[in-house]
Amino acid sequence: MNEVTDLRHPSSEGRVAPDSIPALPVDESRLAMMRRVKRLPVAERIALLDRMCREQTQLAIGARRVR
């Protein structure tokens, strides 16, 4: 197998690692919603994801029309 070399740009050394960036705080309502979704059966999770994707697609199409 060929050896893989790590090619880094010299300018990338000053960047902050993604792990060191603090996450946004999770408020209680969002945490409760995440817990409810976690308890859903797989079929309902898939249906929820499908519905969310369709809604976001419609929003994106509408935003493109506004431009």
Query: Is pLDDT above 90 for 50?
Result: yes
Decide if 34 contacts 45 (C-beta within 8 A).
no
**CA triple 26-59-67, angle to 5 deg:** 120
pLDDT, average across residues 41-62: 92
Evaluate if pTM is beyond 0.75: no
Task: Name the percent of the chain lying above pLDDT 90.
Answer: 31
When pLDDT is cut at 50, 70 and 90, the band that residue 62 belongs to is: confident
Decide if 45 contacts 37 (C-beta within 8 A).
yes
When pLDDT is cut at 50, 70 and 90, the band that residue 4 belongs to is: low
